[in-house]
Amino acid sequence: MQIVVVDSSQVVLRIIASLLEARGHTVHEFTESDAALEFMTHAPEVSVLITSLEVRPMNGLELCWAVRSRAEDRRPMHIITMSSANSVHNLAEALDSGADDFIEKPPRAEELHARLRAAERMARLQEELIRLADTDGLTGLLNRRAFRERMDAAVARGFTLRPPALIFVDIDHFKRINDLYGHDVGDLAICAVARLLDENGIVGRLGGEEFGIFLPERDLDSAIFHAEGLRVRVRALRVPCGDATVGLTCSFGVSTWSGEDSVAALLKRADVALYAAKAAGRNRVMV
Ligand code: GH3
Ligand code: MG
Ligand code: MG
Ligand code: MG
């Protein structure tokens, strides 16, 4: 694991770091809490923070609060606080400040390793829960909520060269596929389309047979070209159905970011464009 250790003493830091490194962990040592916080903001691979309560300029409790209050950040961070004055008061205050665990300083090697093994179990469980919460069970794509979150995050980061584009995709006359060939074949059709779409950009399943593709850095012509390529490839798909195969088509609605836009407006325009593609006869791309 990647572990950040914060203690005002270089000697203590070295002792803890060598214990951890001996077990294969990568350790980042800091004597000051603000430098540790700054480092963690840009180091998503860090999953454990071990901090002494007696550090500066923020004390260990304030550092816990600061790490826990990073709103945009859902990655699990296991926080172990350390204090030489191992009082019940310190322990309760540390846990109330967002710490997961508390150890006496200097930590005994076996105790430290056992607590890190517990941290590793928690981190794995938490990662799995986040994955499940973000994933559509049938296709493995992002679900509607996670798709929206990724769009919001990408927009919040800002654009460098070009603004983003959005493509809505909806399988045409899907009810007929279900009615004629059964839901199992319907599910296969949804999965086949999902696999084809899941090649670039941020792709989500927004509803039954509806998908969204968020393409960062795409101008309108390029987004339309992309959607057109997908339309042709969907039309060529064959979904197995007993001894035969079933074909299908999709309609596409494209929108691009303009000026002082919002994610909600981008979604709305893609939806309107998709509706227009349906009304115009389906199996087509509309803006
Ligand atoms: P249109 O061309 O206008 O999009 O017509 P459509 O029949 O595709 O549209 P509609 O939205 O009316 O029908 C979608 C159907 O998708 C209805 C629903 O029963 C079915 N559906 C939703 N989720 C699933 C799923 O997970 N599996 C299967 N097999 N069918 C689903
Ligand atoms: Mg519909
Ligand atoms: Mg449909
Ligand atoms: Mg639909």
- The values of phi and psi at residue 3, to 5°, are -125, 130
Residue bearing the CA closest to ligand 1, atom 21: 208
Q: What percent of the chain has pLDDT over 70?
A: 98
Residues 6+ apart with CB under 8 A from 243: none
Q: What is the pLDDT of residue 85?
A: 67
How many angstroms separate the alpha carbon of residue 169 from the centre of ligand 1? 12
CA distance 217 to 256: 10
41-100 pLDDT, tens digit per residue, is 999 899 999 999 999 999 999 999 999 987 666 678 999 999 986 567 788 889 998 999
The answer to ipTM > 0.90 is yes
The rounded mean pLDDT for the chain is 94
By annotation, the residues acting in catalysis are 209
**Is the shortest distance between the CB of 172 and ligand 1 below 6 Å?**
yes
Burial of 252 (0-12, 13-18, 19+ CB in 10 A): buried
In 3D space, the residue among 18, 81, 3 whose CA is nearest the CA of residue 48 turns out to be 3
CA distance 213 to 228: 13
Rounded to two decimals, the pTM is 0.84
CA distance 246 to 183: 13
**Is the shortest distance between the CB of 186 and ligand 1 below 6 Å?**
yes
How many angstroms separate the alpha carbon of residue 84 from the centre of ligand 2? 64
